[in-house]
Amino acid sequence: MRHTFTRVGKRLRMKEWEYSSSDAVVSTDLLMNLKRLQASFCHAPDIITNKFMINQTNTSALLVYLEGMVDKAMINNNILKPLLFESIAFSDISRLELTVGSKKVVQSWREVEQAILNGYSVLFVEGETSCLLLGTQGWPERSIDEPVTESVVKGSRQSFVESLGQNISMVRRYIPDRALIIRETQAGRRSKTNIALLYLGDVMNDDILEELEERIARIDIDAIINIGELEELIESNPYTPFPQFITTERPDSVASHILQGRIAIIVDHSPWALIGPITLASLFQSADDYSKRWIISSFIRLLRFVSFFISVLLPALYIAALTFHYEIIPLDLILSIGESRERVPIPPFLEAIIMEITLEMLREAGLRLPSKIGQTVGIVGGIVIGQAAVSAGIVSNIMVIVVAATGIASFTLPNPDLAAAVRILRFPMMIVAYLFGIVGIVIGLMVLVIHLISLESLGTPYGSPFAPVHLEAWRDGFIRLPIWSLIKRPQSNRPKQAIRQKKQTSSGDDR
């Protein structure tokens, strides 16, 4: 069809759109159905219409599908071959026996259009007032690879892919329990993106589930392209840098959170899953924590908390100490710092801002470049620029050390969204340190604590189990005690079944 920009052409295209969007039903005339298909998909060159006669009958049939969205082998072997060459006693379209994944009889033209766009094949038969939707989806899919951002030492090597069905099946392998409930819904007026909610029906709190379903139902947007868009549309507070859902690409991590009484959200076309409700403490946990000795895992988890404060406060403390509080620095150290800053013409605040912005640019450049080149740019670029800046007298040696220690501390945080929030918080903390010194840092920490306590994730306090205090949950908070001592699920999730295992001794004997 030739496209024109005349007024007549515009009216014609509008009539075609209105025609295809009407609430019409399938016609008994096969030719009318074909004309409607041609009008509805006039701008779809990949639409395939295959008209044929059913074997040993005088009945005409029409098979319609989008090329590239279907499994052609299934169509040829399970649909066309039986209808063309095998003896089929055709009496009613609803009783037609075809070995495909799913079958559904519909009459609404809206359902027909949506099914074709979703990869279904549609079978029309002359004289029938309905048609048959056949599940023949078969678009290209990526194979299952190792996790990229959540690599572990002893954990599973599987990660999610862009197929909703495969992602659900990977979670099912970890929880082969009939209590695992999978509730599907859709979001997006145009995309009709499939969303699956996975949870344990006998553990998950009903109020949390109802709250999440209401938030998804309120979404009114053209399309959901990736899981980050969905996260932003259903979170409680959009004005905080802290994540209110855990984003993971690991099916074993999703299964672990589900067993703790949380809910997983898997979106079609996305290799990630959202976990909620969460707390700040859960962002410091890693899938590798439960595959190591508990003493080692506890030390690493404490190290992450220390790294969190170093990443937020170290540049601010350096600025405050050199700007206002010389007396807190030992004499030998302040002489060394003074010697290092002898040729630096700018104050510590600008010095820190320049280095932090340079570090962020190097980080972003490393992400955008190919992996091998990006690592080289990040390491070599940091060394060369840092050394050149020191030689030129723009920054001091001590500032390079402070910024490097801050960057290393942020890399130890297991959650990338938390690490990004920490990098943002670093700048306002440096500003208040430059303006008010240690007093400004204390005020900034108070504001940060108040903000964290006021946050919620699906109605769950973000500061739990520290505010409000749940001492039982501290067993898996700052540290990670042995698995046999973690008797209860996290109280912040308000699970129906709080007990997840029998109380045992370290030797495994029941008490």
Residues 377, 371: Cα–Cα separation, whole Å: 10
Q: Picking from 36-50, 89-103, 159-173, 299-313, which range would have the lowest pLDDT averaged per residue?
A: 89-103
Query: Quick one: average pLDDT of 468-494?
Result: 86
pLDDT-above-70 percentage for the chain: 91
**pLDDT over 70 at 14, yes or no:** no
CA of 449: how far to CAs of 315, 380, 437, 444, 463, in Å?
Answer: 19, 37, 19, 9, 9
pLDDT at 257: 94
> What confidence tens digit (pLDDT) does each residue in 34-78 have?
999 999 898 889 999 999 998 877 889 999 999 989 999 999 999
272 vs 477, residue with greater confidence: 272
Q: Are the C-beta atoms of 275 and 248 separated by less than 8 Å?
A: yes
pLDDT, average across residues 262-284: 94
Say how far apart CA 320 and CA 349 lie, in whole Å: 9
Q: pLDDT tens digits, residue range 130-144?
A: 999 999 988 777 888
Exposed (0-12), middle (13-18) or buried (19+): which is 73, by Cβ within 10 Å?
exposed
Unique residue bearing structure tokens 């010389």: 326
Got the DSSP string for 38-95? Answer: HHHTTT-TTEEEEEEE-TTS--EEEEEEETTSB-HHHHIIIIIHHHHHS----S-GGG
Sorting pLDDT into bands at 50, 70 and 90, what band is 193? very high
192: left (phi over 0), alpha (psi -120 to 50) or beta: left
pLDDT, tens digit, 9 for 90 and up, residues 324-352:
988 888 888 888 888 888 888 889 999 89
CA 445, CA 155: separation in Å to the nearest integer? 36
Higher local confidence (pLDDT), 385 or 38:
38
Contact between residue 297 and residue 285 where contact means Cβ atoms under 8 Å apart: no
Residue 372: band (very low, low, confident or very high) from pLDDT cuts 50, 70, 90: low
Q: Residue 503, class by beta-carbon neighbours within 10 Å (0-12 exposed, 13-18 middle, 19+ buried)?
A: exposed
Task: Give me the chain's average pLDDT, please.
Answer: 86
Collect contacts of 175-181 with beta carbons under 8 A, ≥24 apart. Answer: 175/200, 175/255, 175/258, 175/259, 179/203, 180/258
First to last CA, the chain: 79
What pLDDT score was predicted for residue 376?
63
Q: What is the pLDDT of residue 375?
A: 63
Helix (H) or strand (E) holding 402: helix 397-411
* Spatial separation of the C-alpha atoms in residues 170 and 251, rounded to whole Å: 6
Peptide bond into 271 cis (omega under 30): no
Single-letter amino acid, residue 306:
V
